[in-house]
Homo-oligomer: A and B are copies of this chain.
């Protein structure tokens, strides 16, 4: 196997598509958002990307195995924006893998004529969130303007650590290839899988890219999470008078 290996599964024509990336990360915000798009919209699996920088691992589903990979689905709504959605269960295991995979992802995007890239992710705040702001970062002044109009917050030097992994490199390497790219980062506590943050990110994306999805299933999942949090807080309050959001520190 090559270091980075593209499997072609289908080759539909897409009209000026945008790339939407949601790989695992903080609060699984990006992954939840990308998977929600694929659940709600009709899509076709068009590419798998394998890499020796992914874990040496197969997953199992009812006895059948699938080699570690990232997947591209094409979404082509009758009226609405064509999209390529990049999702998966793995990040690269080392720095060179991150760079090489992102280059490979941008190769696939270029093959389909992608003209804009949206990387989706979460930004940890360390505390429970009432209002889910979405932070932005982009490679062009144009995109800053478009996203500010859509309600995205741009804050000086925030997030302080920059953006790490594939999401960050889609901007860094995208800029070097002249593909405009933006990262939408939903605020999230960082302690929990966060469907509400994923919804906040998707609502912004929806107002920039033309698509229409329902959020009922994400809201249900958010309710379940809140129920879990409530029970933990009750248990904790019976045991010790520690502040509620401290209690959540170790729930991954």
User: What residues of chain A have their CB less than 8 Å away from a CB belonging to chain B?
Assistant: 1, 3, 7, 50, 52-68, 92-96, 98-100, 102-103, 136-139, 141, 144, 154, 156-159, 161-166, 168-169, 171-173, 175-176, 183
Contact = CB atoms under 8 A, between A and B. Distances in A.
A144 B103 contact: no
Contacts of A144: 63-64
A18 B139 CA distance: 34
Q: Is the interface of A mostly helix, strand, loop or mixed?
A: mixed
Contact of A56 (B62, B95, B137, B141): B95
B163 A99 contact: no
Given A65-B162, A65-B175, 17 more contacts: A1-B173, A52-B96, A55-B95, A56-B168, A57-B163, A57-B169, A58-B168, A58-B172, A59-B162, A60-B163, A62-B156, A64-B141, A65-B139, A67-B171, A67-B176, A93-B95, A94-B95
Contacts of A136: 63
B173 A67 contact: yes
A192 to B, nearest CB: 20
A92 B95 CA distance: 10
A162 B168 CA distance: 28
Nearest to A66: B172
